[in-house]
Amino acid sequence: MSSLTDMETILSGMMDTVEASKEQIFTIGEDSREEYETLKNELEDIKTEVVRIIDESEKMDDHSRFARNRLAEVSRHFENFSDEQVREAYEQANDYQVKLAVLQQEEKQLRARRDHIERRLMKLEKTIERADQLINQINVVINYLTGDLQQVSEMIADAEQKQEFGLQIIQAQEEERKRLSREIHDGPAQMMANVALRSEIVERVIDKHGVEKAREEIRDMKRMVKESLAEVRRIIYDLRPMTLDDLGLVPTLTKYLNNVEERHSINIDFKQMGRDIRYPPQMEAAIFRFVQEGVQNAVKHAAPKTVTVKLDVKEKLITAVIKDDGKGFDTSATKENSFGLVGMKERINMLEGKISIDSTPGKGTIILVQIPIERNDEDAGI
């Protein structure tokens, strides 16, 4: 499993955990709200009931005092009342006393329940407030993670792509060294070996066949030296066109595209617009390598009949378009052999330019780049 997949799995798990925590906190908050409303309604009922009991207790207290006074009077003048009246006065006083005690106890219980509910409501208010704060904080985290998850994935993918690009650069350098070694061995080295061998033959020819025959051998040697020199120049040109420093970007591209056209038997249409401006050497080299990479990709992978290269040269901006009528490809699909495209993107990024690639299978490819130019007087030759 790649590091990108691992990171996506970790982030996905973290998002699930955060979402689950949010749901739990939301449930706690909602349960607290329901309990708060229930207790709040109960508190209102209790307050109403306490007021009623207080009123009733006050009335009962009045009745109880009257009944006690009546009982005291009956007790003082016992002989003036019948047994039934004495018993009635006693029972009435006792009944009022019991009812008053019951009301007082009920009031005490209601007040205790009221105080408990008020304390519970204060705690619930804090719980609800804290739950809302936590949900808001979690929403911020979720929005941050959701907003940055794609960016993080892209950063990781970009890092992996750059790592792969770096490895491919190393591999490409090794392949280039092998290619150069092979070309030098098969070309100039072999020719120089032949020249050394033919020089020995010339000495023998002079001794055996005379000067005229030796001149023929010398003419062959000169032809071989010229061919070897041309081959060395071609290898040097592929590494770094010397005309880029001497003549500039446009003449060098013209010569390079003509060579590609002859070598691969395809039609290359080069159009140059704007002024013929000299840019800083590193800028001209980068632009040349970009066009070289784009044309080589088209020739190597697209099998085109025609490749069009347009170069619009301005004082502060250079625009390059490479268009081919070849196979094309799906730009949304990641290709294993996209080293050339990655290389071009890296070059343009280093130049702080913009690149767009438009391609459709069977309909060719268009690559457009725009590179801002920062030039000083020394670069402009002023």
Q: 352 in helix, strand or coil?
A: coil
Topology of domain 3-163 in CATH is Helix Hairpins (1.10.287)
pLDDT digits (tens, 9 = 90+) for 222-245: 887 887 777 776 666 666 666 677
User: Domain 247-380 belongs to what architecture?
Assistant: 2-Layer Sandwich (3.30)
Going from the C-alpha of 234 to that of each of 8, 173, 191, 242, 285, the distances in angstroms are: 49, 19, 15, 11, 17
Model pTM score: 0.44
Q: How far apart are CA 112 and CA 158, in angstroms?
A: 67
Which of 33-42, 174-183, 249-258 is the least confident region? 174-183
Q: What integer is the mean pLDDT of 296-311?
A: 89
Taking alpha carbons only, the member of 109, 114, 110, 134 closest to residue 32 is 134
pLDDT digits (tens, 9 = 90+) for 260-295: 888 888 999 999 887 777 777 777 888 888 888 888
Element at 221 (helix H, strand E): helix 211-239
